[in-house]
Amino acid sequence: MPDIKIAASGGGEFDCYVALPAAGPGPALVIMSSVFGVVDDVRQAADDLAAKGIVVAAPDLFWRGDSGPMPRTEDGMRRAKERAEDRENLIELGVQDLADVMADLKRLPECNGRIAVVGLCYGGPYALLGPARLGCDAGFAFHGTAVESYLDALSDIGDAPIRLHWGDEDHVCPPDTLARIRAATKDRATVGITIYPGVRHGYTGRSNPKSWNEAAADDSWATALSVLDGLRDTPKAAQR
């Protein structure tokens, strides 16, 4: 379906790609994108999950400035990098955007009220912030950037499953950063970390052949789907 408009609680509105399953109700997943935005790779991932019975939404996180998807041209890469320079402030604004998307999803008849979030690259911190601040039922990060800056959120995630995935050649998660994340999560049974050998940053992006790794991408999405499957039949009264 075409992008819909989400009313922002702070004023204005933003685009959001939504993929709906043929039957429902079922759980929902919000994809928080990389700095390149809601590119075709993200839309395809959303469509693939919808075909498996998941409601999927992918909002434009950069609507307040240089909005829309960015091509992997020299100019597109420059603009993508520049629009995320104020990362800390933008991540905070994105929490409210995520809340607004969740509110819209819960009004859809196809959604059973259970909502998870996945962060790709730039969107990685929402794997923790979504469950901690907004009560998301699960959080995932695939090659997430700056996840280590939000480890304090772990104290508020409750029993939400968290799955963090990187390649061992990912420059945003070098050994010292991974060690810090492992130390912070070692006593949390609901947090799982997967490291793919020989895999680089951005491995879920099919349109970037330098980083794309089909096996790692398939495994990551399968992990998310496995957790989401556990949210299909949970009665609403049992929601977090």
Query: C-alpha 213: how far from its chain's center?
Result: 18
Q: Report the alpha-carbon distance of residue 124 to residue 31 in Å, rounded.
A: 10
Predicted confidence (pLDDT) per residue in 188-225, tens digit: 999 999 999 999 999 999 989 999 999 999 999 999 99
Confidence category of residue 240, pLDDT binned at 50, 70, 90:
very low
Confidence category of residue 234, pLDDT binned at 50, 70, 90:
low
Q: Report the alpha-carbon distance of residue 12 to residue 234 in Å, rounded.
A: 34
Ordered domains of the chain (ranges, CATH) = 4-238 (3.40.50.1820)
Burial class (CB in 10 A: 0-12, 13-18, 19+), 96: middle
Q: Is 198 strand, coil or helix?
A: strand
DSSP assigned state of 235: -
